[in-house]
Amino acid sequence: MSSINSPFDKPFEQPVDSPGGRMRPVPAERNYLNADYSVRSWLLTKDHKRIALLYLFSVSFFFFIGSIYAMLIRLELLTPKGDLVQAATYNKLFTHHGIIMIFLFLIPSIPAILGNFLVPLMIGAKDLAFPKINLLSWYLYMIGAVIVSSAIMIGGVDTGWYFYVPYSSNFSNTYVTLAGLGIFVLGFSSILTGLNFIVTTHTMRAPGMTWFRLPLFIWSHYATSLIMLLGTPVIAITLLLLVFERTFHVGIFDPTIGGDPVLFQHLFWFYSHPAVYIMLLPGMAIISEIIATFSRKNIFGYKFVAFSSIAIAVFGFLVWGHHLFSSSQSVFAGMIFSFISFAVAVPSAIKVFNWTATLFRGSISYDTPMLYALGYIGLFAIGGLTGLFLASLGMDVHLTDTYFVVAHFHYVMVGGTLLAYLGGIHYWWPKITGRLYPEGWGRFSALIVFVGFNLTFFPQFLLGFLGMPRRYHAYPPEYQVLNVLSSAGASILAIGFTIPLIYLLWSLRYGPKATDDPWMATGLEWRTSSPPPTENFVETPIVTWEAYEFAPQETMKVVGKLTPDDKPDRSSYSGN
């Protein structure tokens, strides 16, 4: 009976199936996937790993629905005339794209899938603190998703994902109330996930797992949870007020009877700007893990990276006013919000610089997760720095509501979060499924995604700077070349997202079996079997090592012949 206090207690050589061995009957190992096959055991599961998979299926489904709307938008913008859809339909297209991608994909994606799967594993717990609440959060997600989908199917919403009044109150005949209620329910799903992570991180850590031994993934998810808890109730009450306004015709946001439409914008962005960090911080969580593992070095400045997550969460609550520079906010308030928005760049830059410093003199291997992570650093830097253009008062008046803004937040959300999400899915795929994905295809599609993404969104920076406004289905002919480039890029991006879908599904059946620790990473999640048993660990682990404790390079030995496919040898792996 081996304990997992030390990684060296594990056998070095794991039995790996040879190509001919694939057809063997399933071995009798018990894990969370084969513990029970009934539908009931999935739908009523309290196992955080199974709930993560439930989220994976549903969130991926909505990602593809949201992508279809994106493709329709890019198809319409191929030509200057509004010839594919009418203006009113176009309003619905971008609204549906936004609502689905933000509330049904980006916000739950990394925390609810990878966070759910990994938080207990990484801290050495058997489960999250509240397994039933975890399952409830998935059901709330599904109920919210059904409500939002039905609002879309019976006629749609045309207000934009931000539901600005008076578009959404007096002047919309679409299904705003229903969509608002759906998002209200989705918000509770998000709150319960955040609550679970906070309590789990406080009370469920394994013996010896001190706060500064936590993987940075946990720090980032802790910061994310703080935002979920403090921000989401505010959007809930805002949407409730909006629903009241529409249903009972009271004037909370209507100036004719003493209400205030700008109050809606303040309340909305008080949540929705921090929500940007709900989407961003989990991505940063993944990047910290990947960068350390694939450069085989402790992360540079662990505490700085850890506290920068908290700093981003705190500063994130103080910058919402930069969305209101052109909506009757006083110039003085604008200056303060502008200044604090610049201040957020500091913790973000700390992360980027520390990741880069971690790469320095590391033993870098360019596996698929690392390709995504490197892409992330570059694209997030562009997305973040163009954010500073928009945080500057004067510059923003020129750029506000143009494609520059669209390009900026897609660099952060797609170039940042989505790339990190894909990198994370590849990185932990062997742990989640027990199978390896085909590395060659992985690298190839990472490259396609990177090229397609830049071709889609870089021209939009130029379009925005030239003055093309967002949310219009037609545009002057001189913008066509850049729009065609952008639509072409979107097609490439679509291919880049489809390839992983195919080979990841393929690998479930035909992929080689994964060892417990295929990347030779150091986290606790790699010290249990792949896939893990239902209880996660054989025995409660006792942690006696620091996070990312790779052996110093001087002590590394070359074992065998180095080929490009070689992983770093075991001597770079230290656990004590």
Partner 1 sequence: MATQTLNHADAHHDAAHDEEHHPGLAHHFDNMEQQRDSGTLGMWVFLVTEIMFFGGMFLAYMLFRASNPNEFAAGSYQLDVLLGGINTAVLIGSSLTMALAVFFAQTGNKSLLVLFLLATILLGFVFLGIKAVEYGTKFSHGTIPGRNFKVEHKKMEEYEEHHHGDAAANVDPARLQMFFVIYFMLTGVHALHMIIGIGVMSVLVFFALRNRYSPEYHSHIELAGLYWHFVDIVWIFLFPLLYLIGRH
Helix (H, G, I), strand (E, B) or coil at 204: coil
Minimum distance, C-beta of residue 522 to partner 1, in the bound complex (Å): 19
Alpha-carbon span 462 to 325, nearest angstrom: 22
Alpha-carbon span 163 to 526, nearest angstrom: 44
Chain positions contacting partner 1, by CB under 8 A: 1-2, 11, 14-15, 27-31, 125-131, 191, 195-196, 198-200, 202-204, 229-234, 236-238, 240-241, 244, 248-252, 257-260, 263, 267, 516, 529, 533, 535, 538-540
Residue 563 exposed, middle or buried by CB count within 10 Å (0-12, 13-18, 19+): exposed
Residues facing residue 573 across a β-bridge: 550
Per residue, what are the HEC states of 259-304? Answer: CCHHHHHHHHHHHHHHHHHHHHHHHHHHHHHHHHHHHCCCCCCHHH
Alpha-carbon span 253 to 242, nearest angstrom: 8
Minimum distance, C-beta of residue 431 to partner 1, in the bound complex (Å): 13
Nearer to partner 1, 256 or 563 (CB): 256
Minimum distance, C-beta of residue 318 to partner 1, in the bound complex (Å): 15
Nearer to partner 1, 9 or 439 (CB): 9
Contact of 78 with 487, CB cutoff 8 Å: yes
* CB count in 10 Å sphere of residue 18: 9
Structure tokens at 476: 């002057």
| Amino acid identity at 372 | Y
Minimum distance, C-beta of residue 233 to partner 1, in the bound complex (Å): 4
Minimum distance, C-beta of residue 203 to partner 1, in the bound complex (Å): 4
- CA of residue 217 relative to chain centroid, distance: 12
Distances (CA, A) of 98 to 59, 95, 223, 532, 537: 15, 5, 24, 36, 40
Contact of 320 with 273, CB cutoff 8 Å: yes
Minimum distance, C-beta of residue 80 to partner 1, in the bound complex (Å): 43
Nearer to partner 1, 231 or 316 (CB): 231
Instruction: Return the residue matching tokens 């030239």.
Output: 466
Minimum distance, C-beta of residue 309 to partner 1, in the bound complex (Å): 18
Nearer to partner 1, 194 or 387 (CB): 194
Q: What is the DSSP letter of 21?
A: G
Minimum distance, C-beta of residue 162 to partner 1, in the bound complex (Å): 16
Contact of 216 with 305, CB cutoff 8 Å: yes
Minimum distance, C-beta of residue 412 to partner 1, in the bound complex (Å): 25
Q: What is the DSSP string of 428-458?
A: HHHHHHSB---HHHHHHHHHHHHHHHHHHHH
Minimum distance, C-beta of residue 500 to partner 1, in the bound complex (Å): 27
Nearer to partner 1, 241 or 287 (CB): 241
Nearer to partner 1, 15 or 552 (CB): 15
Nearer to partner 1, 138 or 475 (CB): 138
Alpha-carbon span 235 to 340, nearest angstrom: 22
**C-alpha neighbours within 13 Å on the C-beta side of residue 483:** 24
Nearer to partner 1, 92 or 205 (CB): 205
> Which residues 6+ apart lie within 8 Å of 505 measured at CB?
none
Contact of 197 with 309, CB cutoff 8 Å: no
Minimum distance, C-beta of residue 117 to partner 1, in the bound complex (Å): 15
Minimum distance, C-beta of residue 526 to partner 1, in the bound complex (Å): 13
Helix (H, G, I), strand (E, B) or coil at 469: strand
Q: What is the DSSP letter of 544?
A: -
Minimum distance, C-beta of residue 245 to partner 1, in the bound complex (Å): 9
Residues facing residue 469 across a β-bridge: 402
Nearer to partner 1, 95 or 232 (CB): 232
Nearer to partner 1, 203 or 563 (CB): 203
Closest CA to 114 of 369, 310, 295: 369
Nearer to partner 1, 522 or 530 (CB): 530
Nearer to partner 1, 161 or 271 (CB): 271
Nearer to partner 1, 26 or 558 (CB): 26
